Amino acid sequence: MRKRRPEGLKFSHPPQPFSLPIFAVWGAFFPPRFVELRHLAQRRRDAKAGTGLARPDLKKLQLGCQQRLTNAEAERWATSPFISLIHFRDENRMRFLTYVRECGEDLYDKDDADYWLAHYIHLEYAKGPTARGTRKGHCRNVVYGLEHFYPGFKPLTVARRCIAGWDRLVPPVPYAPMHLDLALALAAVLCLLCCYGVAIALLVSFDAWLRISEVSALKPGDIVDNRHQADPVGRGVAVYIASAKTGLRQAVLIDSLEIAELLVAWRDAHRAQGLGENVPIFPSPAQLRRGLAQALAGVGLADGNDRGLQFSWHSCRHGGASRAFLQGKPMSDILLRGRWKAEASGRHYVQSGRQLLIGSQLPPLVTQLAQRVQSLGLAALLRPDVAALLD
């Protein structure tokens, strides 16, 4: 005898009908209404009958558990992945978990998470395209976040297929790699805008291939000056990264002597102001992005390069590694300096950047500014009369 299919949940926000067939045609998206979840119908019947797991009250938890909890409440909260995940104040995951709570449900197992996340991804896709695919990136981060902070959810098969179908319908657009000329020109514009911290952070990120989270978290003690040591191996200025995306306790040696001198001078100026050793020497990521956007607008690249590709702070890491590849450096050295965890991703990263780097053209203003900065030296960017020098 054929088993009866379980009842499906009725969504409080029904999907728009025009987008479901699009995903189905690509064969990468299974509409949530067709996903068979064995426990949902039984849980709903148990909740109506007063048995089984009931949805916990989150108000006490949001108050920081200031009120005394009963043993029954504590046990019920401990069995809910929603409770364990809500402690992580990540905006993407919190937005998704809040949506699930507003729908009157909770995430008790992997099926729940896969079911609701697939529906949530569909709703985000139905809202239409956005600049740089922010909604798709948000949904992708939710998938990775749930699988990372609660391994019992891994893998979220249906949600991953939703993201794969979204990628086929709206292919991702890579960021443009940063040219050395563009990095020098942007640093000059930032110094004209009196954004010296952003300018030095940009040059350091391009030289050491740092992520924006890594450069913004640098503290005075993370700048190690070994230029006067006897051993030539490791001699120079190094950047110590306490926590990176691919691991802990990493370090990168600055290649450019001029950038190394600027970095040490900026660290010493930070200490001279008495700001403390625990205060970062560079602005926050939001301020770095804002300064970069202003500098790009100043050189006429607010809308991207001649290929229509946008620049971001990650373009420094992309362009620096691609430039090293064009210089003929071994791929093994590039992977080591870039601190890529997977060799395959690092190779694809560098090779695609190389192609974009040699196939793009910069405005004449950028080239003129870069030539002027190279003739004057990077130390001239910090002089009070930098505007007259660049004129």
Query: Which residues on neighbouring strands pair with residue 250, listed in sequence order?
Result: 241
Q: What does residue 324 show for φ and ψ, rounded to 5 degrees?
A: -65, -35
Lowest mean per-residue pLDDT among 65-79, 102-116, 138-152, 276-290: 65-79
3-state secondary structure of 323: helix
3-state secondary structure of 88: coil
Position 238 pLDDT exceeds 90: yes
| pLDDT score of 100 | 83
CA distance 134 to 152: 27
pLDDT band at 91 (very low <50, low <70, confident <90, very high): low
Give the amino acid at 270: H
What is the percentage of the chain residues whose pLDDT exceeds 70? 75
CA distance 252 to 243: 13
Position 190 pLDDT exceeds 60: yes
The CATH code for residues 180-390 is: 1.10.443.10
Position 120 pLDDT exceeds 60: yes
Position 22 pLDDT exceeds 70: no
Task: Please answer whether residues 198 and 287 qualify as being in contact, where contact means their C-beta atoms are separated by less than 8 angstroms.
Answer: yes
**Which structure tokens are listed for 77?**
């909260």
| pLDDT score of 55 | 41
Spans of all domains in the chain: 20-169, 180-390
Position 30 pLDDT exceeds 70: no
Q: What is the mean pLDDT of residues 279-289?
A: 95
Nearest alpha-carbon partner for 158 in 120, 129, 191 = 120
The 10s digit of each residue's pLDDT in 45-90 is: 455 454 444 443 434 333 333 344 344 444 443 444 444 444 434 5
Share the mean pLDDT of the chain. 77
| pLDDT score of 303 | 82
Position 170 pLDDT exceeds 80: yes
| pLDDT score of 46 | 53
Most confidently predicted of 140-154, 221-235, 337-351: 221-235
Most confidently predicted of 153-162, 254-263, 349-358: 254-263
Position 17 pLDDT exceeds 50: no
| pLDDT score of 366 | 92
Lowest mean per-residue pLDDT among 40-54, 61-75, 184-198, 321-335: 61-75
pLDDT band at 131 (very low <50, low <70, confident <90, very high): low
The burial of 359, by beta-carbon neighbours within 10 Å (0-12 exposed, 13-18 middle, 19 or more buried), is given as exposed
Position 99 pLDDT exceeds 90: no
| pLDDT score of 291 | 96
Q: What is the mean pLDDT of residues 139-164?
A: 87
Position 10 pLDDT exceeds 50: no
| pLDDT score of 75 | 43
pTM score: 0.70
Looking at per-residue confidence, does 109 or 163 come out higher?
A: 163
The burial of 229, by beta-carbon neighbours within 10 Å (0-12 exposed, 13-18 middle, 19 or more buried), is given as exposed
Looking at per-residue confidence, does 302 or 47 come out higher?
A: 302
Q: What is the mean pLDDT of residues 323-349?
A: 87
